[in-house]
Structure 1
Amino acid sequence: MKPLAVLSAAMCFAATSIAPAAACDDVHEEALSKMASICEAKIKARLKAPATYQRASVQESALRMTAAEYKDKELTRMRDNISDSDAWRDAYKKLDSDIAAIERSPESAPMIFETRIAYDAQNGFGALLRGHALCTLISSDGDEENIDEGAVAAVIE
């Protein structure tokens, strides 16, 4: 979380003892990273009553991948998405090249960004339920800000 967001969240927490919690909605929206915003959009798209969505907590992490981790993730992605043998061969050559580059310069390895969100929302019967989501992004350039919604994988419970 950015320092300004931490300060804003702290000011909001102090204000909630005086003013209603609804006054802090804008602060919570500003405090979200782009990844968390995309994750929330994916959650809301799957809800029966998206207007009832309330975020309970957000946890974010970013880790640099090892060459072996990157290879495992990319092979899984290739297996799931590539059926043409020529496309598979081309993708595997690129993967070998990427792995060699990571081994030469580990600080240039891709980053894996994870966002975990706990939320409350009503189901189809109007009962408020707690749900959890894990959104993952593998960024080859290590930059979380230059992502699009399609690149983020979401597992929503």
Structure 2
Amino acid sequence: MRRYVFVFASVCAVLTGCKPFGSQVLTACEDAIKQRLRSPTSYDRVSLRETEEQISRREDVVFKFRRQGYSAEETAVFMKEVDAAPEKVTLYAKTIEYDAKNAFGAPLRNRTTCEYFTIDGKEDAALASNVTLDGKSLAEWSASGG
């Protein structure tokens, strides 16, 4: 049975470009959610809504870089790459509804929006440390006391 699943996944990925086991951004988002939970093992995804948006306005791209904590100098360096291939700037968003236990062990339903911003149109560099959950990076969440 495992061989058939592997063959299906391989054929699916090669022929259609589909992602049978979820995207790198989804994995990063779920890892980020689990890092912020009191009981990470209790995480259970209930629903998922995914969007992918091309960012075309230069001001929006600059805003995203600054929002992620990049300095004006770092943003200027990135903007040179953006100016060379502006059609690749992409915002991946995942709205994830999930169940997880709170500090008292009671299961609660939660919803969060996870975003990943990329200038090359690829999602393969997405990590829990470089996505935002409800507008906060992992560093911002940690600094606010969780």
**Band the TM-score falls in, shorter-chain normalisation:** 0.5 to 0.7
Match of 1:27 in 2: none
Q: Which runs of 5+ in 1 are unaligned?
A: 6-29, 83-87
In 2, distance between residues paired with 1:96 and 1:38?
Answer: 25
TM-score (ref. length: structure 1): 0.62
Provide Cα deviations, 1:81-106, integer angstroms capped at 9, x if missing partner: 54xxxxx4x3354255356x26xx54
Distance 1:54 1:140, change over 3 A: same
1:40 Cα offset (Å): 1.0
Structural mapping, 1:119-134, within 5 Å? 119-134=98-113
Whether the 8 Å CA contact 1:113–1:138 is kept in 2: the answer is yes
Counterpart among 136, 141, 144 of residue 115 in structure 2? 136
Counterpart check, 1:73 vs 2:64: yes
For 1:70 and 1:46, how far apart are their aligned partners in 2? Answer: 27
Instruction: Evaluate the alpha carbon distance shift between residue 147 and residue 92 of structure 1 in structure 2; reply closer, same or farther with a 3 A threshold.
Output: closer
Task: Give 1:139-150 correspondences, 5 Å limit.
Answer: 139-150=118-129
Show the counterpart of 2:16: none
1:57 aligned partner: 47
Aligned length: 117
Q: Which has the larger radius of gyration?
A: 1
Q: 1:97 aligns with which of 80, 88, 94?
A: 80
Partner of 1:41: 31
Give the distance between the partners of 2:75 and 2:127, measured in 1 at CA. 24
Q: Which amino acid aligns with 1:40?
A: E
Does the 8 A contact of 1:114 with 1:137 survive in 2? yes
Amino acid corresponding to residue 117 of structure 1 in structure 2: I
- How big is the alpha-carbon RMSD for the aligned residues of Structure 1 and Structure 2? 2.5
TM-score normalised over the length of structure 2: 0.66
Structure 2 unmatched runs, 5+: 1-7, 10-19, 137-146
Matched residue type, 1:71: V
